[in-house]
């Protein structure tokens, strides 16, 4: 094309443009896009891996928290169970002690009653024996011996009875 300085030729500009357009298309399809896609897929792969790791970490954290909660609840349950058992034990001990005390008092009272009863029995039997002895002695004195002898015998018999008691 004449008249344009520097030998500028529109046809050749268009040919250059055509050439470059084909190059652009080919490079985009063959090189740029596949490489970029691969880089994006790798980025996605590592992002997924990262998110999976974060999820696993979060889940482990949750599990640990749940475990801690359960452990705490269990401790609490054990503590409350212990307290309850201790309370029951105390109540049982008090009950048994009260029973034992009541039994002991009853035993003591029975023993005392029995002792009193035996004492009364002994006293009454002793009195009876004394009365019998006295009666015998009086009969003997009256019937067989003199009064003094009878009196002496009476005294001897009374002393013997007292010592026996």
Partner 1 sequence: MSKQERRKAIIVFAVLAAVFLAASILTGGDGAEEETIQQVMRDAVLHDLNKVSLFGMAVNPGLLAGVIVSSFLIIFALICRIFVIPRFKMVPGRFQLVLETVVGLFDNMAKGNSKINGFLGAYIFAAGAYIFTGTLFELFGVQAVTLGGHSISLPAPLSDINGAIMMGCLSYLVIMSGGIAGNGVRGIGKTLKEYSLPISLSFRLFGALLSGALVTELVYYYSSLSYVLPVLVGVLFTLLHALIQAYVLTMLTSLFYGQVSDNTPKPPKEKKGKRGARNTSAAAVS
Which residues sit at the interface with partner 1, rule CB under 8 A?
A: 6-9, 12-13, 15-17, 19-20, 22-24, 26-28, 30-36, 38-39, 42, 45
Q: How far is the CB of 30 from partner 1 (least distance, A)?
A: 4
For 42, list phi and psi in degrees, rounded to 5: -65, -40
Helices (H) and strands (E) in the chain, counts: 3, 0
The helix/strand/coil state of 97 is helix
Q: Measured from the CB atom, is 36 or 64 closer to partner 1?
A: 36
Report the nearest approach of partner 1 to the CB of residue 39 (Å): 6
Q: How far is the CB of 6 from partner 1 (least distance, A)?
A: 5
Report in angstroms how near the CB of residue 54 gets to partner 1 at its nearest. 20
State the Cα–Cα distance between residues 96 and 85, nearest whole angstrom: 16
Measured from the CB atom, is 41 or 113 closer to partner 1? 41
Between residues 28 and 67, which has the closer beta carbon with respect to partner 1?
Answer: 28
What sign does the dihedral 83-85-91-96 (CA atoms) show?
negative
Q: How far is the CB of 55 from partner 1 (least distance, A)?
A: 21
Q: Helix, strand, or coil here: 147?
A: helix
Q: Which is nearer to partner 1, 6 or 143 (CB)?
A: 6
Phi, psi at 149, each rounded to 5°: -65, -40
Q: Which is nearer to partner 1, 29 or 147 (CB)?
A: 29
Rounded CA Rg of the chain: 63
């Amino acid at each position: 094309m004449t008249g344009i300085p520097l030998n500028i030729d529109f046809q050749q500009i268009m040919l250059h443009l055509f050439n470059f357009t084909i190059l652009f298309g080919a490079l985009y399809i063959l090189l740029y896009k596949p490489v970029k896609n691969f880089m994006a897929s790798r980025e996605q792969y590592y992002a997924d891996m990262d998110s999976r790791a974060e999820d696993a970490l979060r889940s482990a954290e949750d599990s640990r928290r749940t475990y801690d909660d359960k452990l705490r609840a269990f401790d609490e349950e054990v503590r409350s169970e212990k307290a309850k058992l201790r309370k029951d034990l105390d109540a049982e001990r008090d009950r048994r002690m009260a029973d034992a005390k009541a039994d002991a008092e009853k035993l003591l009272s029975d023993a005392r009653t029995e002792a009193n009863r035996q004492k009364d029995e002994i006293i009454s039997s002793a009195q009876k024996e004394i009365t019998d002895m006295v009666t015998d002695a009086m009969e003997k004195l009256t019937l067989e011996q003199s009064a003094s002898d009878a009196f002496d015998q009476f005294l001897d018999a009374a002393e013997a009875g007292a010592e026996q008691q």
